[in-house]
Amino acid sequence: MQFDTPATTNPIDRMKVVGKPIHRIDGQLKTTGRAKYAYEWHDADVAYAYGYGYPVGSAIAKGRITSMDTSAAKAAPGVLAVVTTLDVGDLKKGQFNTANLFGGTQIQHYHQAIAVVVAETFEEARSAASLIKVDYAEEKGVFDLETAAEKAVKPDESQQPDSAAGDFDAAFRAAPVTLDARYATPDQSHAMMEPHASIAAWNGDEVTLWTSSQMIDWWRGDFAQTLGIDKEKVHLMSPFIGGGFGGKLFLRVDAVLAAFGAKACGRPVKVALPRPFIANNTTHRPATLQRIRIGAQRDGKITAIGHESWSGNLPDGSLETAVMQTRLLYAGENRMTAMRLAALDLPEGNAMRAPGEAPGLMALEIAVDEMAEKLGIDPIAFRIINDTQVDPENPERPFSHRDLIGCLKLGAERFGWHARKAPAARREGNWMIGLGVAAAFRNNLVLPSGARVRLDGDGIVTVETDMTDIGTGSYTIIAQTAAEMMGVGIDRVAVQLGDSRFPVSAGSGGQFGANSSTSGVYAACIKLREAVARKLGFNSVDVIFEDGSVRSGNRTVPLAEAAGADGLVGEDTMTWGDLTETHQQSTFGGHFVEVGVDVATGETRIRRMLAVCAAGRILNPITARSQMIGAMTMGAGGALSEELAVDTRRGFFVNHDLAGYEVPVHADIPHQEVIFMDETDPYSSPMKAKGVGELGLCGVAAAIANAIYNATGVRVRDYPITLDKLI
């Protein structure tokens, strides 16, 4: 089904199940430990005779392996197999991978996998892994973004490095009030709860992979390509995932090592990446250096806005697209954005929750706060003055729906914004108190998404799609969608996810999962409804599915009876016409934060957070709120503590575990509130929904930075805002 016209009414609009605060249907499985995650998987096909694989990573950041001695490891107790990067030779790189995951002699980054040791127990594998001796021919690498940025280049047009409208330079020169400021955001790690983990089991030339993946079909293709086998020979399962944040979008080496290990020892092999391995072996959010220039009239109207960003990556790596929101968020006739890419020999930089906008808004929304202050205008009023209902670079392109102003106004009222004082003017004992605000913005992407829906003779509706649930609530909103479409209670719906035998879905990423995957289920349900109507000889136009029955005129048939013993099936894929070209689809919000900063130590404590979101129809306010508060918590980490520290001599991230890479804990987050604007977006999909999983992060750190400025009068433009930067 192609969605290419604004949605009017459809069965989803009944909102009997969709939009209701339904608790996760998979919640009990998780809280009772029965939800099987990748590393715990076992079933009849895989008896308990696993081999345990332990990875070995490169001890240099750049160069070549000249020799490896594995004899001591092979002779160690319990060892079943040792497979090295030299044994497997050069492997083909996955379509979505930047660095080689495994294979050959070349080292592209620190902790690139160079061997896997498989043993009877995890401990034996780990112990034997330490006995492998490696000789390297080390080469000099480039690890410092600041230095590398001087030689940064413009990447090819596919990455959309530049944009412009009007005459930025002239307008900026002519503006009576201007800001020209530089900002820095650090490398960040996804730091998801569940590490990357896989079990591989071969059956002849076919392989089953239980893994932790956000994108089943991307993984399946890249896994096959890396192993040099047909995609059809791979069965991939990832029904439960303990967080991803973008770190599990692309095939990772645990899957590859498990497959080689399993082949070598003739048993299923499980490999989990040890926590200290993850920061350097997998991907991270690249650091950025950003320059923002804004020129405005004295009445607050922006006349010139410019945003430049520099980030680094391995050869063939991509930009951190930190200027993207600046192309769309505020009006202004004269504009320029530019992104430049520096060559670094650090581990691969890639997507982490709200890639682009998250670090981009960390800078832009401080700049807007600074500009408002220069103008003597309240920062909310300044944002409202510069709202736009069209894409400011392409004014013929309207936003499908945009209520940034509504979010800011409602948030100001609910948060008590009127109580905000001048910088460093509010004190409670040792605490300097400040309020901060930032706009939230994240584009609304859509991806094709397929599903199959079965109706059986008991009247049970079963949804099958390779969609994933990375903790987001996919199971639940998909069940709600199918229940609404088929006119049954949610207790009559079963949802099966994360299996490559099911129709290919959007997967989980870019906050496109909820809207895209439920739209695919919608399309499949339309097909199933047609099949039911056809079987009963109903005219499908006036058929009503309600209360477990299907009705036409004065004839009512229970769904179980309609399905009969053989059952009925509907399958379809939702695709998107040119709607994203004719209409700019984005999500909006306002983040409000109150902080206290200790006058003696400079320690910042968050006291209150509020987010108001305008993101289309909210499919389930409980799971959407959980996405929001999780994202706001991540934003608090981004503002105050998260930073991968780079060793610029040896080229690696030093604080590569959760002791050194500090994410917020409960005690850091005292009070969070979330308000969703009551809205639908008729252009987004038949669901009229968008996404919130990334929106919740976008702008949070800047709101905290602005609150710290309001508390202290100290403007920090370099994240994280640790206490040393305040005193």
**Cβ–Cβ under 8 Å, residues 234 and 466:** no
Give 355 or 392: the residue with its C-beta nearer to ligand MOS: 355
Cα separation, 240 vs 343, in Å, equals 36
Stretch of residues binding ligand MOS (CB under 6 A), selected from 42-50, 304-312, 346-354, 566-574: 346-354
Q: What is the DSSP string of 289-317?
A: EEEEEEEE-TTS-EEEEEEEEEEEESTT-
Closest approach, Cβ 699 to ligand MOS, in A, equals 16
Task: Assess 19 for contact with ligand MOS (CB under 6 A).
Answer: no
Stretch of residues binding ligand MOS (CB under 6 A), selected from 33-41, 241-249, 291-299, 701-709: 241-249
Closest CA to 80 of 227, 276, 262, 310: 262
Give 306 or 507: the residue with its C-beta nearer to ligand MOS: 507
Closest approach, Cβ 552 to ligand MOS, in A, equals 43
Stretch of residues binding ligand MOS (CB under 6 A), selected from 28-36, 48-56, 245-253, 683-691: 245-253
Q: What is the DSSP string of 640-684?
A: HT----EETTTTEES--STTTS----GGG---EEEEE-----TTT
Give 250 or 330: the residue with its C-beta nearer to ligand MOS: 250
Out of 365, 373, 464, 694, the active site residue is: 694
Number of residues binding to ligand MOS, judged by CB under 6 A = 11
**Cβ–Cβ under 8 Å, residues 314 and 305:** no
Closest approach, Cβ 214 to ligand MOS, in A, equals 6
**Side chain identity at 614, as an amino acid letter?**
A
**Cβ–Cβ under 8 Å, residues 254 and 211:** yes
Stretch of residues binding ligand MOS (CB under 6 A), selected from 172-180, 348-356, 422-430, 580-588: 348-356
Stretch of residues binding ligand MOS (CB under 6 A), selected from 143-151, 244-252, 307-315, 519-527: 244-252
| C-alpha torsion sign, points 709, 715, 718, 723 | negative
Query: Is it true that the peptide bond before 176 is cis, omega within 30 degrees of 0?
Result: no
Closest approach, Cβ 582 to ligand MOS, in A, equals 24
Give 247 or 596: the residue with its C-beta nearer to ligand MOS: 247
Stretch of residues binding ligand MOS (CB under 6 A), selected from 268-276, 303-311, 351-359, 461-469: 351-359
Task: Assess 244 for contact with ligand MOS (CB under 6 A).
Answer: yes
Sheet containing 133-138: order of strands: 106-107, 63-69, 133-138
Closest approach, Cβ 598 to ligand MOS, in A, equals 34
Cα–Cα separations (whole angstroms), residue 242 to 239, 284, 306, 424: 10, 17, 39, 42
Closest approach, Cβ 694 to ligand MOS, in A, equals 7
Task: Assess 282 for contact with ligand MOS (CB under 6 A).
Answer: no
Binding ligand MOS (rule: CB under 6 A), the pick from 246, 300, 473, 570 is: 246
Helix runs in 14-130, H state only: 27-31, 71-75, 85-88, 122-129
Give 190 or 267: the residue with its C-beta nearer to ligand MOS: 190
Give 62 or 252: the residue with its C-beta nearer to ligand MOS: 252
Task: Assess 351 for contact with ligand MOS (CB under 6 A).
Answer: yes
Cα dihedral 265, 268, 272, 277 in deg (nearest 10): 20
Task: Assess 573 for contact with ligand MOS (CB under 6 A).
Answer: no
Cα separation, 687 vs 18, in Å, equals 9
Binding ligand MOS (rule: CB under 6 A), the pick from 62, 293, 307, 353 is: 353
Give 214 or 334: the residue with its C-beta nearer to ligand MOS: 214
Stretch of residues binding ligand MOS (CB under 6 A), selected from 109-117, 345-353, 450-458, 624-632: 345-353
Cα separation, 356 vs 609, in Å, equals 23
- Residue numbers 202-221 binding ligand MOS by CB under 6 A: 214
Q: Which helix (H) or strand (E) holds 192?
A: none
Taking CB atoms, the residue at the shortest distance from ligand MOS is: 246
- Residue numbers 503-562 binding ligand MOS by CB under 6 A: 509-510
Binding ligand MOS (rule: CB under 6 A), the pick from 76, 113, 131, 249 is: 249
Give 19 or 244: the residue with its C-beta nearer to ligand MOS: 244
Buried b / exposed e over 146-161, threshold 16 CB at 10 Å, is: eebbeebeebeeeeeb
Cα separation, 359 vs 323, in Å, equals 9
The pair of structure tokens assigned to 155 is: 């990447």
DSSP state of 348: P
Cα separation, 101 vs 111, in Å, equals 10
- Residue numbers 453-512 binding ligand MOS by CB under 6 A: 509-510
Give 85 or 623: the residue with its C-beta nearer to ligand MOS: 623
| Other CB atoms within 10 Å distance of the CB of residue 371 | 25
Task: Assess 352 for contact with ligand MOS (CB under 6 A).
Answer: yes
Give 186 or 332: the residue with its C-beta nearer to ligand MOS: 186
Closest approach, Cβ 574 to ligand MOS, in A, equals 19
Closest approach, Cβ 487 to ligand MOS, in A, equals 34
The pair of structure tokens assigned to 713 is: 């009068």
Cα separation, 705 vs 722, in Å, equals 11
Q: Please confirm, yes or no, whether 673 is among the known catalytic residues.
A: no
Closest approach, Cβ 466 to ligand MOS, in A, equals 16
Residues designated as active site? 694
The residues that touch ligand MOS, with contacts defined as CB under 6 A, are 214, 244-246, 249, 351-353, 355, 509-510
